[in-house]
Chains A and B, each alone.
Chain A
């Protein structure tokens, strides 16, 4: 699993002194990640770009506040997450994500769909349709579950990094990730099972 601990070739001293190459390397490594995080919360591509800008400006100008307890990457996520929440607070019509209930319990509902599905060449051809289906399913998750899934399974942060970025306990990250995975699997099952030849059917 790639770690965000030491972004390759980026030194804090170079960033502090305004080295353009260090800034470009940091932007290259994290801009898309912060964009995804912001987009997932704001649902507004242009606002998400503003958050990227705000995150990097804020991080670079406050590098002295970065204490190195977490990685620089995790810290950027945290700054981006807070900037996104601030944006939502400024827009009164956009409610803040509600607290996720039940982080302390690891109970999950038992799976409902038990049908096999595999990605056939045909389903790969329908990539546009599949992408829309994936978007729909993840869009139905609560924000609390969606963000954890995004950071852990899409961006491949560790449990600890995700907890630091979102201000959660590691236990809560694990519970939410588990719920998010099972919920997404359930939501996608009908779509993919329909497109998978089942035993006894002609392929």
Chain B
């Protein structure tokens, strides 16, 4: 496997969705190619960083109110349906 192929399969390699044969070829290439190893490592870090910090949530001060609004809205629909 050369660098170009490695980069093409990089996401599949990270997600462990390559065939055993291709996975082994990728591993072999990564063991000897510093540049591709850097790309793999920094791509993994990129995913990790967003997984850690990218989980934006509903602001805490709005959460209860939003749920209350939802309950009211569903109750109103139920009343009008019955």
CB within 8 Å of B: which residues of A?
Answer: 18, 20, 23-24, 27, 31-32, 35-36, 39, 45, 49, 52-53, 56-57, 60-61, 106-108, 110-111, 113-119, 130-131, 134, 138, 149-150, 153-156, 174, 177-178, 181-182, 184-185, 188-189, 192
Residue of B nearest to A119 (CB): B45
B53 within 8 A of A: yes
1/0 per residue B3-45: CB within 8 Å of A? 1100110111010000000000000000000010011011101
A46 to chain B, nearest CB (A): 9
Chain B residues in the interface with A (C-beta under 8 A):
3-4, 7-8, 10-12, 14, 35, 38-39, 41-43, 45-47, 49-51, 53-59, 62-63, 66-67, 69-71, 73-74, 77-78
**B55 and A36 contacting across the interface, CB-CB below 8 Å:** yes
Given A35-B56, A53-B66, A56-B70, A153–B47 Cβ distance below 8 Å?
yes
The residue among B11, B12, B45, B62 with the most chain A CB atoms within 10 A of its own CB is B11
When distances are taken between beta carbons in the complex, the residues of chain B under 8 Å from A108 are: 7-8
Assess the A23–B71 pair: CB atoms within 8 A.
yes
In the complex, the answer to whether A178 meets B10 with C-beta atoms within 8 Å is: yes
A18 to B78, CA, bound (A): 9
Contact call A134/B49, Cβ cutoff below 8 A: yes
Q: Which residues of A contact B54 (CB under 8 A)?
A: 36, 134, 138, 150, 154
